[in-house]
Structure 1
Amino acid sequence: MNIENYKKYVKYTLGQEKSDLVLKNAKLIMVQTGEVIEADLAIKDKYIVGLGDYEGLEELDCSNRYVCPGFIDSHLHFESTLANPKELVHYASLSGTTGFIADPHEAANVAGIKGINYILDQTQDASGDVYIMAPSCVPCKEGEDSGCLMEASDLKKLLGNPRILGLGEVMDEGGVIGLKDRMMAKLDLFSDRVKDGHAISIEGKDLAAYAMSGILTDHESTEYKYAMMKVRNGMYVHIREGSAARNLEAIVRGIVENKTDISRFTFCTDDKHIEDIQKDGHISHNVRKAISLGLKPIDAYKMASLNPAQCYGLDDLGMIAVGKKANLIILSDMENVLIDRVMYEGDFISPVYEGNKMSVDPQLIDSLHIDWFDEDMLAYKSHRYAIGMVEGEILTKLIDLDNYKCHNDLARYDSQMDDPACLKFADNDRKEAMANKISKVAVIERHHNTGRYHVAKVLGYNIKNGAVASSVSHDSHNVIVIGDNDRDMMLALEKLKESKGGYVLVEGGHVYDALPLPVMGLMSDLDSGKMNEVLSRMIARAHKMGVPDGIEPFIALSFIALPVIPEIRIRTRGLYDVLGDRYLD
């Protein structure tokens, strides 16, 4: 709090005047001291001005109620929620998240600075504090066909905005360790700000070098041992629990079993659909699940509030103390995280979403350019190798179809990766069994009419008599389509063009349904209720068509082209071995 505000508010702290609102007899969750105390909480305008014995112009009896600081999501992509960013903030804030550290690299990969400004504009009057990390890797990897290329000179234009906290997740690990000029320029530009990481496939001296560059955080740990490698190098670990990637249980169990200090751990969602938020909660779900796994409740609340505030230098957030913003959660049950009401900047958040009437730049709507693609192009380009889907993960397996075995060291990843999925075909009818499990996937460049595309095989998606097409395809967001026959795949692509982007499900020669995502081909202009209704129907139908229950049909597909996550991905230029950094076939 600056000195002018101090002069304005100190009389309320001293009890010389009544505050606007006092929460009486509340059990305050003091994450900074690890205790729960009973006291009155005085609020004036958007600030906490007193803890103790206070009177207010309005008083709310909070006997038998807990009050904690608002939760902070340490890392998320609004685009991956599919919803309008302001609406996403609204529903997340109702479940207690009042701070958001967003990386708009999905929007930037499609539309550059215009995409980033769309996120900033849409959230400027949202019911939570929305901060932005400037995307570091647009595109995410050299050779990617993204919509835009962002250099340090482009990122420099963002520095004057107070909501730009630092540099977004640095996925180009090789560029950092190998001292590539483009990456060095970006790290230097943000030398005095927080830099987020994406350390998924490095350890030992490489990880140490990566951390020494000033990269402070990572959200890609799938196991406790990998999380600890990063913490030992001075990094913060954002424990991810989203719609697709769920790493919380593995890491929190390790913390509990080893009695690990939690000071360098926070929670994040990364990618979480709005219907999952409405059903399960947001960061509140992470806190509740962590407590159920044996984490001390006060530690879980600290990881959801104070730790991320300290990580990102948000001095006015993260704890209940005088001078901090009155971003608060009132709970009836601390252990089960049962939320009664949520306050943002001293006002209770209305359960009714008021909508967002801001217009959208027409250039952000017309972003799908695939008229050149035809059915003849759906012939396989890759034959020997296939992408193996993994239930409950966005990691994939590199499968050698000639030898019926997996390549690379699977033991490096979660134990779920070690199931003998590749060996299920080792019986008398294994060729027939494998043929029945193969899906065809194509990725098609959609930004600049380059004519680049690739077609390969997938095991584990298992869709039958149909196809799915999507313009959400991390991080370059080229069009991706998967199916078991060319007719349905082409029909899905035609409907996708008509919808100006989104998700399409085709079954038996007919469009079952489509969810238009016209804003950059990433976000809906529908209200979330209508969007969730369509999406839920499509997900349920895709599972009936053979997609395993452990694979979310659209989210899992959206990651199959992301070349920074092991083991194998499809890119517009070929089938790509991530760990070997090489194209196959």
Structure 2
Amino acid sequence: MNKSLYDKLSKVCKKESPADLIFRDAHIFDAYTASFYDGDVAVKQGYIAGIGKDFPGDTVIDCKGKYLFPGFIDAHAHLEAALVPPNEVISAAAACGTTSFIVTPHEVWTVAGKEGIDYLLKQSEKSPANVFLMLPYCISPSLSEGHEAKFSSTDFFSFLKNPRILGLEELMDTRGVIHSNPVLWKTADGAESKFPGGYSSFLSLDSEACSLMKLQTGQIPKDFSYTLDEVHAGMHIHIKEDSAVHKLETSIQGILSKGIDSRSFSFCTDGKKVGDILREGHINHLIRRAISLGLPVGKAYQMASINAAECYHLSHLGVIAPGKQADLVLLSDPKKVDIEAVFHKGKRVEKKEKYPLPHCPKELKKTLHFPPLEEEDFHLPIFKQNSTVIGIQEGEIRSSRLQVNFRRSNNFDPLENPDYRKIASISRNNGRKRMCVAICSGYPIRQGAVASSLSRDCDGILVIGDSDRDMCLAANELLRTQGGVSVVSQGTVLFSLALPIMGLLTECGHEKAEEQLRLVKEKLHEMGIGTAMDPLLPLAFLSSPSIPEIRITPRGMYVIKGAQSRLLKQ
């Protein structure tokens, strides 16, 4: 805070000049103590000038019988998972009380590099919320070869000078931590003044080694006992609840059953679609659910505000106190989280029916560069007695490695093996064909194929099907649309959701995109995928280098165990 601003706030605090806005007779939530007290809150130039009584000012909001909370913080978000430009997601969530976002643009970085990060920064510059970015350290080295959209060291460290870049996040090379990878340490040392973010819980059980490197955040894994190990090692845990992965109930039950302090936990949505936000809410939805599961009201609101603010050293956010930014949420019922109004920097956040679409650089609309594919590219000879199969598990992002005996042939035919399908990972870069074809189970699509460019932590596209012809057509359809999801059956493209911005985002708005997505999923269910499974979930995660037990990338299949990944010979 500079002296000029301090002088203005001080005069309001001393009641020598009028406030811009006064919240009168509010039940104020004290995030420091998780308790409430009554008073007026005076705001000047987007900051809280004072708390007390009888502040002068013309604009007054009567808060009698209502509750005033600090704006909510999404502690870990992948905005691109919503499939729409960032401002559309941020605006929808801000109307639900989320006034700060900690964004990890892993997929944007993977496919578009520096230009992608610049796009996110510019797109969110005038959004009705604070949007901070965490740069990814790197993805697992063995799986990252072939990615063209990498930062140079100059790009990387120049971004760290931006005040909206808080630090580094999602370190997936925990083997590099344990074995003191010099490149990794050079990156960490160069960013020492910034926040040393977290890593993937799937990759290593050595949370102490990660803590020694000062990594400070993690995400809730499947086993809460491992979460306790992370907390014991001094790490801060993000509790995830998004459109696909639901960990909140397990997490809250673990906190309550163990009787532990919740200050080491914060809420995050990871990746939530706009339709889900409009239907059930954002961080406010997590607060509501946590309270319904038995978490004390004050603890739930701490997890939505001060916990994340302190974790990321955002001292001006997360609390209602003099000198803090006036990001405020007015509620009529704290348990139901009924929102009356939201304020960002002292300005009311208005709900919007339509969201403006800022300009997108043309180079970000052409990120798929592989040549048109032929049916023969999907041929898979079976020469060995035992073949490795990727086992897809319903409702899980993990996979299992299976060994199955198939008849030797020049080309594996799923029609002769009805419990198995072909899966292919195709590099979008290089302008040449680089792909891996393998066998999977647990995804019983019939008479067709599906292709998607929505691969987490990988720049490839994934295709699953029971016909080489349909798999080829589905992949080439993505090349035509420059990304998205395509469904093909018996030589015909049935549905195509175009995501031309980096192969991740649409230009048609969330309503049309989510309606097309609904139709895609309905058709995939009709084609044999069980209704208990999100049919696009495996396509999103089967290339991710952080999730066991077996992954497929354009370079081949990898077995992931602990902190190690190993390329399989085919």
TM-score (norm 2): 0.93
Residue aligning to 2:301: 301
Aligned equivalent of 1:548, options 530, 541, 553: 530
Q: Percent identity?
A: 36
Matched ranges for 1:371-410 at <5 A: 371-380=371-380, 384-402=387-405
Q: For residues 242 and 341 of structure 1, what CA distance do their matches in structure 2 show? A: 24
Distance of aligned partners of 1:576 and 1:44 in 2 relative to their CA distance in 1, 3 Å threshold: same
Residue aligning to 1:245: 245
2:552 aligned counterpart, secondary structure: strand
Read off the aligned partner of 1:374 and give its amino acid letter: E
Residue aligning to 1:72: 73
Q: For residues 15 and 419 of structure 2, what CA distance do their matches in structure 1 show? A: 71
Residues 48 and 323, structure 1, Cα contact 8 Å, conserved in 2 = yes
Larger mean Cα displacement after TM superposition, 147-156 or 60-69: 147-156
Q: Does 1:254 align with 2:241?
A: no
Matched ranges for 1:12-91 at <5 A: 12-55=12-55, 56-91=57-92
Distance of aligned partners of 1:391 and 1:337 in 2 relative to their CA distance in 1, 3 Å threshold: farther
Deviations 1:358-383, CA, capped at 9 Å, x for gaps: 32221111111222421111123687
Distance of aligned partners of 1:40 and 1:286 in 2 relative to their CA distance in 1, 3 Å threshold: same
Deviations 1:527-572, CA, capped at 9 Å, x for gaps: 1122122112222222232222332222331111112211111111
Deviation at 1:460, TM superposition (A): 1.9
2:278 aligned counterpart, secondary structure: helix
Residues 217 and 235, structure 1, Cα contact 8 Å, conserved in 2 = yes
Larger mean Cα displacement after TM superposition, 48-57 or 84-93: 48-57
Distance of aligned partners of 1:146 and 1:551 in 2 relative to their CA distance in 1, 3 Å threshold: farther
Q: Does 1:564 align with 2:565?
A: no
Distance of aligned partners of 1:345 and 1:165 in 2 relative to their CA distance in 1, 3 Å threshold: same
Deviation at 1:71, TM superposition (A): 0.9
Aligned Cα RMSD in Å?
2.1
Residue aligning to 1:456: 438
Deviation at 1:506, TM superposition (A): 2.2
Residue aligning to 2:163: 162
Deviation at 1:342, TM superposition (A): 1.3
Q: For residues 217 and 282 of structure 1, what CA distance do their matches in structure 2 show? A: 21
Q: For residues 117 and 170 of structure 1, what CA distance do their matches in structure 2 show? A: 21
Residues 223 and 247, structure 1, Cα contact 8 Å, conserved in 2 = no
Residue aligning to 2:565: 581
TM-score (norm 1): 0.90
Q: For residues 487 and 297 of structure 2, what CA distance do their matches in structure 1 show? A: 42
Q: For residues 144 and 161 of structure 2, what CA distance do their matches in structure 1 show? A: 30
1:364 aligned counterpart, secondary structure: helix
Residue aligning to 2:355: 355
Read off the aligned partner of 1:123 and give its amino acid letter: S
Q: For residues 26 and 275 of structure 1, what CA distance do their matches in structure 2 show? A: 32
Q: For residues 368 and 536 of structure 1, what CA distance do their matches in structure 2 show? A: 24
Read off the aligned partner of 2:488 and give its amino acid letter: V
Q: Which runs of 5+ in 2 are unaligned?
A: 407-413
Q: Which runs of 5+ in 1 are unaligned?
A: 404-431
1:263 aligned counterpart, secondary structure: helix
Residues 151 and 186, structure 1, Cα contact 8 Å, conserved in 2 = no
Q: For residues 521 and 42 of structure 2, what CA distance do their matches in structure 1 show? A: 47
Residue aligning to 2:132: 131
Residues 267 and 283, structure 1, Cα contact 8 Å, conserved in 2 = yes
Residues 139 and 476, structure 1, Cα contact 8 Å, conserved in 2 = no
Aligned equivalent of 2:507, options 491, 504, 525: 525
Residues 23 and 60, structure 2, Cα contact 8 Å, conserved in 1 = yes
Residues 389 and 459, structure 1, Cα contact 8 Å, conserved in 2 = yes
Residue aligning to 1:474: 456
2:544 aligned counterpart, secondary structure: coil
Deviations 1:48-67, CA, capped at 9 Å, x for gaps: 22222234312222222222
Q: For residues 254 and 272 of structure 1, what CA distance do their matches in structure 2 show? A: 24
Q: For residues 583 and 368 of structure 1, what CA distance do their matches in structure 2 show? A: 25
2:425 aligned counterpart, secondary structure: strand
Q: For residues 495 and 203 of structure 1, what CA distance do their matches in structure 2 show? A: 38
Deviation at 1:74, TM superposition (A): 1.0
Residues 137 and 150, structure 1, Cα contact 8 Å, conserved in 2 = no
Residues 71 and 318, structure 1, Cα contact 8 Å, conserved in 2 = yes
Q: For residues 260 and 526 of structure 2, what CA distance do their matches in structure 1 show? A: 43
Deviation at 1:330, TM superposition (A): 1.4
Residues 388 and 439, structure 2, Cα contact 8 Å, conserved in 1 = yes
Residue aligning to 1:415: none
Residue aligning to 1:339: 339
